[in-house]
Each structure stands twice: as structure tokens, then as C-alpha cells.
């Protein structure tokens, strides 16, 4: 009898533990839309290992004008309204315009970060979210940000490279909404509107500096222009994501 009571009580504890884990997982997924778990109907990016070589992950040239780039996965279907292909002087790129929204999209590509440590891309700010501050959870919006997602696709570590209107360039801090994410402000200021800039980051070094361990496999990259916290508008363009040794 006693054993049955102990067993029942153990089962209850296990159930509570599993429930708590599920609640935490749902909360994290809702916040960050662990995008690679969802829309499995979309084709995966071709995973090519090119050790010691550059690899163009995405230049948007293969898509028709005005469409959502279907190699990218979305956290919510409303992403289709935010992210669309645009053409300018014969070049195709991704245009983002988020009105009171914050939805990320991601491109799955798994590889060993030690082999290809750098990511470069181009971006252009068009409209900054009003009153945003990337350090504060209640004002956490960004005109443009690019992420590298590491280790796994359930509770990944993430490094987010952001263009901030106000936070000083070079700032590095823990993400205010997700403790496994780190932020690097790679560009600051609202004066350089409508002008393309190229960025290049060493995500392998950044991971080691932030977490003090060797990174696991990169799972992919993601991007987001967000304006949900400030109930305003964020607009930016993105192009030419390249992995380099
Ligand atoms: Ca392009």
C-alpha cells in the first residue's frame, strides 16, 4: 500500500515536472518562435559543406518580385505580409516593413562554425521604430537584426547582430527577453537612412567570448525588423548573406 502511494506521488511529481517543462518550452517558443520547428512544408536550404571556402547563403536573386522568399521559414504566417522581394537596378533583395509586429524568419543551414567563422551581409535602414531601446524588454524593437543560431533547434544559443537607433555601437549584452541569446550592436544611428551598408562578423569568436565554451553546430541564420513593443513601424532591406572562412 505504502509503495503504491509512493509510486502515485512520484508519478504526480513527474507529471508536474513535464508540465512545467512544456510551459517553459511554450513560452520560449512563443517569444522567439523557434522557427526551425515549424513550417516543415517549406523546402530546406541546400546544406553544402564548403570547408575553407565562401558560400553565398542567400542573395534573393532566384525569387520573383513581390513574393515571400520560400526557402526561409517563418515563426508566423503573417511574416508573408512583412517580408517581400523587391527589385532595384536589376538587383533583388528582401524588403521588410513591420507595423506593430515582431516576426522573425530563418534560413536553416547546419555547419561547423570553426570551418566558416564569418558571416557578411548588406542592409539598409528605411524607418526606425519610435522610442526603441534594444537593452530594455518593454522597448525591445530593432530596425534590422541578423541572428546566428547555435547548438540545437529547441533551446538554442543565439547571437543577434543589431542596428540600433540609440544603443552605442560595439555594445554587447545579454538579450533582455531570452537568457540564452546575446546581442552585439554592430551599427548605431538613425541618420544613415536609405543607404546600404555591408557588415562582417566573426560569430565563432563572439560565441566563445560570450559563453566561454566551443560552439556546437550552427543551425542557421535568421533576421527580423520589429516594432511590436513600441507599437510603431520598422522598415529595412537585406541582401547578400555570405559565409566565409
Ligand atoms: Ca541580391
112-162 per-position pLDDT tens digit: 999 999 999 999 999 999 999 999 999 999 999 999 999 999 999 999 999
Q: Where does residue 160 rank: exposed (0-12), middle (13-18), buried (19+ CB within 10 A)?
A: buried
Q: Please, are residues 42 and 79 in contact by the beta-carbon 8 Å criterion?
A: no
d(CA 96, CA 124): 10
For 26-67, write each residue's pLDDT tens digit: 444 444 445 554 433 333 444 444 556 899 999 999 999 999
> How far, in Å, is the centroid of ligand 1 from the Cα of 122?
9
> How far, in Å, is the centroid of ligand 1 from the Cα of 91?
5
> How far, in Å, is the centroid of ligand 1 from the Cα of 114?
27
Number of helical (H) and strand (E) elements in the chain, helices listed first? 3, 13
Beta bridge partners of 105: 74, 223
Instruction: To the nearest 10°, report the CA torsion of 25, 31, 32, 35.
Output: 70
> 33-244 has which CATH code?
2.60.120.260
d(CA 178, CA 190): 26
Instruction: Tell me the pTM.
Output: 0.83
Detail the DSSP E strand segments found in the chain.
55-58, 73-74, 83-88, 91-99, 105-111, 118-127, 144-150, 157-164, 172-174, 181-188, 197-202, 218-224, 233-244
> How far, in Å, is the centroid of ligand 1 from the Cα of 85?
9
Amino acid at each position: 500500500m505504502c509503495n503504491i502511494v509512493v509510486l502515485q506521488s512520484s508519478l504526480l511529481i513527474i507529471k508536474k515536472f513535464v508540465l512545467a517543462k512544456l510551459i517553459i518550452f511554450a513560452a520560449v517558443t512563443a517569444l522567439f518562435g523557434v522557427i526551425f520547428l515549424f513550417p516543415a512544408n517549406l523546402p530546406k536550404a541546400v546544406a553544402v559543406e564548403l570547408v575553407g571556402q565562401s558560400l553565398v547563403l542567400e542573395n534573393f536573386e532566384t525569387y520573383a518580385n513581390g513574393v515571400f522568399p520560400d526557402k526561409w521559414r517563418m515563426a508566423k504566417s503573417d511574416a508573408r505580409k512583412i517580408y517581400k522581394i523587391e527589385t532595384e537596378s536589376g538587383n533583388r533583395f528582401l524588403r521588410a516593413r513591420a507595423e506593430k509586429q515582431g516576426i522573425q524568419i530563418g534560413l536553416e543551414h547546419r555547419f561547423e562554425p570553426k570551418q566558416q567563422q564569418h558571416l557578411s551581409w548588406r542592409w539598409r535602414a528605411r524607418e526606425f521604430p519610435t522610442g526603441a531601446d534594444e537593452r530594455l524588454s518593454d522597448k525591445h524593437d530593432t530596425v534590422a537584426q541578423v541572428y546566428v543560431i547555435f547548438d540545437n533547434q529547441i533551446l538554442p544559443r543565439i547571437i543577434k547582430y543589431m542596428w540600433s537607433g540609440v544603443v552605442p555601437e560595439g555594445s554587447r549584452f545579454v538579450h533582455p527577453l531570452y537568457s540564452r541569446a546575446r546581442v552585439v550592436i554592430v551599427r548605431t544611428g538613425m541618420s544613415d537612412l536609405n543607404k546600404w551598408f555591408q557588415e562582417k562578423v566573426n560569430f565563432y569568436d563572439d560565441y566563445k567570448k560570450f559563453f566561454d565554451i566551443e560552439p556546437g553546430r550552427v543551425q542557421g541564420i535568421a533576421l527580423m525588423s520589429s516594432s511590436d513593443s513600441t507599437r510603431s513601424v520598422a522598415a529595412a532591406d537585406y541582401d547578400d548573406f555570405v559565409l566565409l572562412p
